[in-house]
Amino acid sequence: MSKRPATDVFHDWALVGKDKGMERGHAASVSEMLSFISKQVEVSGKAFSAVDVGCGNGWVVRKLQSHDKCEYAMGIDGAEAMIAKAKTIDEKTDYIHALLPDYQPSRKFDFVHSMEFLYYLNDPENMLKLFHDNWLEDGGWAVIGIDHYTENEDSLSWPEYVGVHMATRTTKEWEKAWQDAGFVNINHWIAGGEGGVTLVFTGQKQA
């Protein structure tokens, strides 16, 4: 089966309301990822900025904004209908329609959050390096969750089933990619509660 760009597929998904299903399906894992962010904010005691990359309809951006220490949060996605939806729900927030890895942010962030986005890229290792070098403040954290990886055998049929490219890596290969990108204090866990499969990696840019 020939592969379509992931952003075209997710554009279509937004048109038929499948973004809401993803929101529900990803909620438990994202809740753990946001708890990690809250813990770091508590440690620093400072206001923070954040970006959600591959933000879909923007639901995580709005969750980040609801934190009382959040001074700025924005979202980026390459699917036009996802961003249109995000703007309809909340016209005051910055939701940017842009393709990655080409888009360069005009500012840096304390947190880069991303759920179920990274492996759609041809070179996710390079994106990690870009997050580290160009997107994060010194001392900032990347918090990235993925459900498609080698050890999650059920996910290995997804590229054929969905008809999009997915970069399949082992947990060890992801760990090396985070190290090679320059991150320190790298950790990972499986999120999503009982039966959860989300491989979450967190890593910090040296302060």
Q: Which residues bind ligand SAM (CB under 6 A)?
A: 6-7, 10, 22-23, 26, 54-56, 77-79, 82, 99-100, 115-117, 120-121
Least gap, CB of 179 to ligand SAM (angstroms) = 24
Q: Is the Cβ–Cβ distance between 185 and 205 less than 8 Å?
A: no
CA–CA separation, 193 and 5 (whole Å): 31
Q: What are phi and psi of 123, to 5 degrees?
A: -130, 75
Least gap, CB of 166 to ligand SAM (angstroms) = 10
Q: What are phi and psi of 132, to 5 degrees?
A: -65, -50
- CB of 33 or CB of 70, closer to ligand SAM: 33
- CB of 72 or CB of 103, closer to ligand SAM: 103
CA–CA separation, 117 and 30 (whole Å): 13
Least gap, CB of 117 to ligand SAM (angstroms) = 4
- CB of 7 or CB of 204, closer to ligand SAM: 7
* Residue whose C-alpha is closest to residue 81's, from 22, 16, 14, 21: 14
Least gap, CB of 205 to ligand SAM (angstroms) = 22
**Continuous H helices in 16-144:** 18-44, 59-65, 80-89, 124-130
Q: Which residue is nearest to ligand SAM (CB)?
A: 78
Least gap, CB of 116 to ligand SAM (angstroms) = 4
- CB of 11 or CB of 132, closer to ligand SAM: 11
- CB of 74 or CB of 121, closer to ligand SAM: 121
- CB of 10 or CB of 135, closer to ligand SAM: 10
Least gap, CB of 128 to ligand SAM (angstroms) = 14
Q: Is the Cβ–Cβ distance between 101 and 95 less than 8 Å?
A: no
Q: Which residues of 128-158 are buried (b: 16+ CB within 10 A; e: fewer)?
A: bbbbbeebbeeebbbbbbbbbbeebeebeeb
